[in-house]
Structure 1
């Protein structure tokens, strides 16, 4: 953590030094104004790319394996996990019932059990909580 703070501090100092040099050389009219605009534009493009790379989460690997320990500790059955996966895909209860060849009332029961076990009140919260436990990709 300290090393990262030192590196960020050095990078910030280097950028500040570069900006001061650009300001000084612009005041002395060493180069045309377009050169300074280009330098600052390149600096901000590089900063934007770096920030975007740091803030964008890396994609998960293609081979996602659900956290079996979390499933077991929460008491989520295999069928409830299937229903949760289909909820995450955005399917309605009727579509889930058709895909799993069960009645819509059974789907409602599974959904209510999943909500209870994850301690949530909505489908969105269930998906978020399941992703936080690495149950869903």
Structure 2
């Protein structure tokens, strides 16, 4: 049953394609300047998209984010604590952070307690705000 339906659909598609091809041939003979204009417009459209992608792809202010290594060294924040801080900034709970990093929730609590001490924060939002001020997070 499905084979017959697919066969009829393919035949109808080929027939429609043939009719469109014949119509296009007639239009190209009757209005050649319109065909040239359409091809020219398509070329300029492609060129504009390519130039726009190239220009917008690299902005002058784009730099690689380094996470302020000087502040990290001064505060003594390890890369693992930075990972916890990034997950914290993403709004994840302790259990979600633990699952994401492959550690226990108690380890996450310990990392957060040390981060609060080093950043002088009392809450999660304070820690994230202070880390952004220091340039540790984007």
Superposition TM-score tier, normalisation by shorter sequence: 0.5 to 0.7
Match of 2:93 in 1: 92
What value does the CA root-mean-square deviation take over the aligned residues? 1.3
Moved over 6 A (4+): none
Q: TM-score scaled to structure 1, two decimals? A: 0.55
Is 1:102 the equivalent of 2:103? yes
Match of 2:122 in 1: 121
SS in 2 for 1:121: coil
Q: TM-score scaled to structure 2, two decimals? A: 0.54
* Residues 7-50 of structure 1: CA deviation (Å, up to 9, x unaligned): xxxxxxxxxxxxxxxxxxxxxxxxxxxxxxxxxxxxxxxxxxxx
User: How many correspondences in the alignment?
Assistant: 78
How far apart, in 1, do the equivalents of 2:63 and 2:125 lie? 23
How far apart, in 2, do the equivalents of 1:83 and 1:111 lie? 8
> What 5-or-longer segments of structure 1 have no aligned partner?
1-59
SS in 1 for 2:67: coil
How far apart, in 1, do the equivalents of 2:130 and 2:79 lie? 17
User: Larger C-alpha radius of gyration, 1 or 2?
Assistant: 2
Is 1:77 the equivalent of 2:78? yes
SS in 2 for 1:111: helix
The structure with the greater share of residues assigned to helix is: 2
* Residues 98-130 of structure 1: CA deviation (Å, up to 9, x unaligned): 011000000000000000000110011101100
> What 5-or-longer segments of structure 2 have no aligned partner?
1-60
Offset, 1:63: 3.0
